[in-house]
């Protein structure tokens, strides 16, 4: 049976293992070159549009519109994270089983690349001209915090492009996103938490494991980690989270509706409920702190003279990096050095009460009538944050239905997208472009 052209395109893209490395010199260029060739082959009309190459393998495409009203930028990324874990079907095989395309990148983020390109290709085929310029910005270093998104922003700035709307990956049409709510939530990220990382360093006398002293570096580091775990940052209910609760209210069991309907007045109660509702919900109401890397002695019979722990923090809207760092320093105490590795503030909050968001809502209602569209605070970092300096309306939404299981496969094993869901996503992007106001 011959599959839809968009499905074949996704399969060809997924078969290229476009894994970017933090050190660009170590990235294998061959899969990226092949992926770009596959894009040209599957989307020949799009390929004829004006293109700006962004090193190493990213691309910026301009599709001229009828008017010079502020353009729209549709973003996605071509790189993927490495494969780990054991997969039911080969990670770069792009095999179809049970109505799903399986493989690394199907959800993050080659599905969106294909969704956008297939939509544009269909419209070009019909001779359609968008109401305003549409730019496509496909980065190649998103997963390694590389420079392609900032370079794309610089290029647009040089050209004096002031977008009206920027749309990147982010929320999805998420089933089982909220306890007790049966309708899927079409969550549109209107801001994202800031990613900030530190290393906790404890130093002291090392030596032979046969003559240990009390309070050595490893023990102090362990105490510091435990202290951090026991001192979470204060709960916060930023405006997008309260709006999400308000929009959920009618979809909750009757006794709970009035509570969420008055979400803003009941913020303190609700944030406590969210905190108790599991890790996903808890991350919506505070800055999170996760200890990730750990190192100490390399040998079983040697006491470490230096012990280190990496701490990755996601800074909530309403908190600041300085405030969070103060909290960390106070909590771990004077015996631990706190080295800042990276610091990013939460992104500015884009509006959900104007025409751009209303357009996203309307198209979402057309394609996913059972879903509840709502703004939210995105937990993960995206390239979209670099566009907030260029545009006030930066939204993070990938128009694909995803089950809870599927969401858990992003950056993990068995990533897969439903064939029908991919095609609905193509339709969503196409409707968005068709409906752009002049």
How many whole angstroms separate alpha carbon 58 and alpha carbon 373?
Answer: 31
For Zn ion, give the closer residue by CB, 169 or 192: 169
Smallest distance, Zn ion to C-beta of residue 104, A: 11
Residues 6 or more apart from 212 whose CB is under 8 A from it? Answer: 303
How many whole angstroms separate alpha carbon 413 and alpha carbon 313?
Answer: 24
For Zn ion, give the closer residue by CB, 83 or 219: 83
Query: Could you give the 3-state DSSP secondary structure of residue 102?
Result: strand
Smallest distance, Zn ion to C-beta of residue 70, A: 25
Smallest distance, Zn ion to C-beta of residue 209, A: 44
For Zn ion, give the closer residue by CB, 105 or 375: 105
Q: Are 315 and 346 in contact (CB under 8 A)?
A: yes
How many whole angstroms separate alpha carbon 142 and alpha carbon 347?
Answer: 17
Which residue from 184, 171, 186 is spatially nearest to 251, judged by alpha carbons? Answer: 184
Query: Where do contacts with Zn ion occur on this chain (CB under 5 A)?
Result: 108-109, 169
For Zn ion, give the closer residue by CB, 73 or 202: 73
Q: Are 312 and 290 in contact (CB under 8 A)?
A: yes
How many whole angstroms separate alpha carbon 224 and alpha carbon 216?
Answer: 12
Question: How far apart, in Å, are the Cα atoms of 71 and each of 134, 215, 219, 431, 438?
Answer: 6, 60, 56, 16, 10
Smallest distance, Zn ion to C-beta of residue 108, A: 4
Of 12, 79, 121, 243, the catalytic one is 79
For Zn ion, give the closer residue by CB, 104 or 247: 104
For Zn ion, give the closer residue by CB, 170 or 184: 170
Smallest distance, Zn ion to C-beta of residue 38, A: 19
Which residue from 290, 415, 292 is spatially nearest to 10, judged by alpha carbons? Answer: 415
What value, to the nearest 5°, has the Cα angle with vertex 65 and ends 60 and 68?
100
Is 95 an annotated catalytic residue?
A: no
For Zn ion, give the closer residue by CB, 245 or 378: 378
Task: Determine how many CB atoms are found less than 10 A away from the CB of residue 251.
Answer: 16
End-to-end CA gap in the chain: 41
Of 108, 109, 133, 142, the catalytic one is 142
Is 405 an annotated catalytic residue?
A: no
Q: Are 67 and 438 in contact (CB under 8 A)?
A: yes
How many whole angstroms separate alpha carbon 406 and alpha carbon 408?
Answer: 5
Question: How far apart, in Å, are the Cα atoms of 381 and each of 140, 144, 278, 308?
Answer: 15, 11, 21, 25
Q: Is the dihedral of CA 111, 112, 114, 118 positive or negative?
A: positive
Active site residues: 79, 142
């Amino acid at each position: 049976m011959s599959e839809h052209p968009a499905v074949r395109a996704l399969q060809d893209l997924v078969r290229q293992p476009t894994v970017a490395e933090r050190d660009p010199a170590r990235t294998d260029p061959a899969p990226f070159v092949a992926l770009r060739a596959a894009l040209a082959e599957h989307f020949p009309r799009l390929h004829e549009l004006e293109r700006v190459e962004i090193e190493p393998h990213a691309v910026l495409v301009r599709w001229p519109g009828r008017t010079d009203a502020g353009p729209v930028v549709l973003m996605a990324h071509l790189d993927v994270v490495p494969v780990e874990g054991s997969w039911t079907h080969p990670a770069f095989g792009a095999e179809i089983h049970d109505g799903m395309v399986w493989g690394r990148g199907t959800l993050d983020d080659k599905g969106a690349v294909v969704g956008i390109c297939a939509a544009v290709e269909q419209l070009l085929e019909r001779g359609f001209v968008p109401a305003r310029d549409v730019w496509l910005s496909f980065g190649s270093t998103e997963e390694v915090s590389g420079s392609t998104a900032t370079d794309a922003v610089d290029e647009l700035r040089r050209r004096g492009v002031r977008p009206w709307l920027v749309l990147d990956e982010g929320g999805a049409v998420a089933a089982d996103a909220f306890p007790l709510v049966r309708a899927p939530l079409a969550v549109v990220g209107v801001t994202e938490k800031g990613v900030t990382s530190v290393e906790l360093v404890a130093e002291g006398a090392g030596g032979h494991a046969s003559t240990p002293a009390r309070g050595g570096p490893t023990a102090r580091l362990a105490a510091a980690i435990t202290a951090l775990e026991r001192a979470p940052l204060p709960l916060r209910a930023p405006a997008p989270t309260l709006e999400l609760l308000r929009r959920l209210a009618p979809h909750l069991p009757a006794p709970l509706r009035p509570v969420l309907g008055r979400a803003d007045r009941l913020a303190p109660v609700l944030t406590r409920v969210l905190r108790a509702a599991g890790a996903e919900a808890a991350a919506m109401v505070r800055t999170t702190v996760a200890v990730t890397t750990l190192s100490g002695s390399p040998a079983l019979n040697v006491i470490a003279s230096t012990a280190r722990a990496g701490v990755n923090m996601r800074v909530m809207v309403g908190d600041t990096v300085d405030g969070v760092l103060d909290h960390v320093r106070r909590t771990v105490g004077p015996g631990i050095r706190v080295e800042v590795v990276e610091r990013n503030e939460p992104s500015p909050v884009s509006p959900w009460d104007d025409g751009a968001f209303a357009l996203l809502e309307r198209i979402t209602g057309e394609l996913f009538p059972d879903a509840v569209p709502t703004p939210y605070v995105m937990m993960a970092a995206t390239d979209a944050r670099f566009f907030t300096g260029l545009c006030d309306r930066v939204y993070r939404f990938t128009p694909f239905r995803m089950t809870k299981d599927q969401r858990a496969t992003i950056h993990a094993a068995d990533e897969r997208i439903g064939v029908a869901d991919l095609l609905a996503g193509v339709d969503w992007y196409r409707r968005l472009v068709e409906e752009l106001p002049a």
